[in-house]
């Protein structure tokens, strides 16, 4: 029997009688997630099997684990065991809104350890949001906040750009419905009024470039609603004006022209300058000097008609591939630091021959071709842990409980006489791990001592310990 078919049958069997809050059988939710991933070109068999089985391996159904291991293999089994762990990540909505967003993303990725888990979790949260009408208003708002500030960025990070945009719009509709529908109305009108002229303009440019022997690809895009909202806020902040007519948001509509060489990017710009008047204040050239993320493109803005402004991005095919896949590719490429030179070379060759490996998640078959590689996404330098309030603290990997205490406040460190790690009493020399929930116990007077200098890992903690010892 086909593994996918077998997993579908088993998922239906082991969730039989279980209903979600909206009253539907669990299998309906599972199949929607599976179809969503397929629609987004997720074709990796292990990921799809784990998606179909992720509710068969819930804590209350742990008796199913052994069957899953035997029927579908160790890799699917291990993936589902790890999925149980990330389901328990306790980042509350307040923490997401108020804390450094990079901590949020990196904490989640560290704890997941395998990017396929993030893909499944993102799809699961998207489907949950579609059925959030069954929640109380407060619960629904909290769920939408998590999707907007955590899961949508993670979706973008793993190459699911279209799904990320949909998640942002759906969450934004719940959080700020008035603004959402105002922008939606304006955006719809903009699309209706500009479709014909955009298609004509695109064909016009394509013909001119063909006459100049410039091979190109031209794409037209309309910003999604939440993206327009963010752009609107930025422009309001810069200009000091307010309103919802979006007259100061210049790139509601965008065109992307992709060519073969860098010199052709500037040649295309010169041609466009002869056709329309460019707004120099909107020009941004990242071709020669990339942004910190590695992004490279030339952004220009033209009024192509009396009522249509058009942002045009010009880049090479190589730049486009990097902009679309490169940052995520670079994120995973960090694992190559631990590979032999032979494996590195083979890995690089595989990536160059499969530029869309990340987007399609077909690259997991690399495991059968490259020995020593596994689909992990480690951030080797730092560890991310939680305070009792749900805030995330970043520390160098190798840090101890005392380092955590001093990171929060020097007094907390000086008065620290014990701790709880994930609800269990622990020693002060415990090396903290990703996802640990740490509660510091304190004395009513300083208990700092010289032995702590040998326990602590961070320079900051050692400096504060020495200061405290000098005052005793």
- Whether pLDDT at 245 is above 70: no
Residue 112 — very low, low, confident or very high, per pLDDT cuts 50/70/90?
low
Averaged pLDDT of the chain: 78
CATH pick for 3-175 out of 1.10.510.10, 2.40.10.340, 1.10.3210.10, 3.40.1210.10: 1.10.3210.10
In terms of Cα–Cα distance, which of 108, 193, 110, 196 is closest to 146? 108
CATH 3.30.460.80 is held by the domain 177-320:
no
Listed in sequence order, the DSSP H helices in 60-160 are: 65-72, 74-86, 93-98, 101-112, 115-130, 137-146, 152-157
Higher pLDDT, 119 or 234: 119
* Eight-state DSSP code of residue 259: E
Q: Which range in 11-20, 147-156, 200-209 is most confidently predicted, on average pLDDT?
A: 200-209
Closest by alpha carbon to 360, among 142, 159, 192, 105?
159
The pLDDT tens digits of the residues spanning 40-94 come to 878 778 889 999 998 887 655 567 788 888 888 888 888 888 787 777 665 544 4
In the numeric block, the tokens 């032995």 are attached to: 451
Mean pLDDT in residue range 251-267: 90
The answer to whether residue 279 scores a pLDDT higher than 50 is yes
The model's confidence at residue 186, banded by pLDDT at 50, 70 and 90, is confident
Would you state the structure tokens that stand for residue 158, as one six-digit string? 């793993």
CA 175 to mean position of chain CA atoms? 20
DSSP symbols for 159-183:
T-HHHHHHHHHHHHHHH-HHHHHHH
pLDDT tens-digit series, residues 346-397 = 545 544 554 443 333 333 333 333 344 344 433 347 787 878 766 668 788 8
Flag whether the pTM goes above 0.75.
no
Q: Domain locations in the chain?
A: 3-175, 177-320, 382-471
Q: Note the residue count of the chain.
A: 472
CA distance 383 to 244: 42
As assigned by CATH, the class of the 382-471 domain is alpha beta
CB atoms near residue 239 (< 10 Å): 9
- pLDDT score at 92: 47
- Over 70: is that where the pLDDT of 413 sits? yes
Sorted by sequence, the CB contacts under 8 Å of residue 431 that are 6+ apart come out as 398, 399, 400
């Amino acid at each position: 029997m086909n593994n996918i078919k077998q997993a579908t049958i088993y998922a239906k069997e082991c969730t039989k009688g279980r209903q979600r809050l909206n009253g539907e059988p669990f299998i309906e939710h599972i199949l929607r997630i599976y179809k969503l991933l397929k629609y987004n070109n997720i074709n990796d068999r292990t990921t799809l099997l784990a998606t179909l089985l992720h509710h068969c391996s819930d804590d209350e159904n742990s008796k199913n684990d052994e069957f899953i291991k035997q029927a579908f293999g160790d890799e699917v089994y291990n993936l589902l065991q790890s999925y149980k762990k990330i389901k328990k990540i306790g980042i509350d909505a307040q923490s997401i809104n108020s804390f450094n967003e990079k901590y949020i993303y990196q904490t989640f990725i560290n704890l997941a350890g395998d990017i396929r888990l993030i893909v499944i979790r993102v799809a699961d949260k998207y489907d949950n949001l579609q059925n959030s009408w069954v929640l109380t208003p407060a619960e629904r708002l909290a769920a939408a906040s998590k999707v907007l500030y955590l899961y949508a960025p993670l979706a973008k990070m793993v190459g699911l750009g279209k799904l990320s945009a949909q998640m942002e719009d759906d969450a934004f509709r719940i959080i700020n419905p008035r603004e959402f529908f105002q922008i939606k109305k304006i955006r719809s009108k903009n699309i209706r009024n500009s479709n014909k002229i955009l298609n004509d303009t695109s064909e016009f440019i394509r013909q001119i470039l063909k006459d100049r022997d410039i091979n190109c690809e031209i794409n037209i895009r309309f910003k999604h609603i939440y993206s327009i909202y963010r752009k609107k806020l930025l422009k309001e902040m810069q200009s000091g004006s307010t309103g919802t007519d979006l007259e100061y948001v210049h790139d509601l509509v965008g065109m992307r022209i992709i060519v073969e060489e860098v010199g052709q990017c500037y040649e295309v710009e010169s041609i466009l300058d002869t056709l329309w008047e460019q707004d120099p204040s909107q020009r941004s050239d990242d071709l020669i000097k990339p942004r910190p993320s590695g992004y490279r493109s030339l952004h220009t803005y033209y009024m192509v008609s009396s009522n249509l402004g058009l942002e045009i991005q010009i880049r090479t095919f190589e730049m486009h591939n990097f902009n679309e896949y490169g940052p995520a590719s670079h994120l995973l490429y960090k694992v190559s630091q631990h590979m032999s030179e032979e494996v590195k070379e083979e890995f690089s060759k595989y990536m160059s021959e499969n530029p869309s490996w990340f987007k399609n998640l077909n690259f997991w078959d690399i495991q059968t071709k490259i020995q020593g590689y596994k689909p992990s996404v480690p951030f080797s330098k730092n560890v991310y842990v939680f305070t009792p309030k749900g805030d995330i603290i970043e520390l160098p990997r190798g840090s101890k409980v005392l380092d955590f205490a001093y990171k929060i406040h020097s007094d907390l460190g000086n008065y620290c006489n014990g701790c709880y790690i994930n609800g269990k009493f622990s020693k002060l020399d415990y090396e903290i791990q990703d996802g640990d929930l740490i509660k510091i116990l304190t004395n009513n007077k300083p208990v700092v001592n010289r032995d702590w200098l040998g326990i602590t890992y961070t320079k900051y903690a050692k400096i504060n310990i020495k200061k405290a010892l000098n005052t005793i």
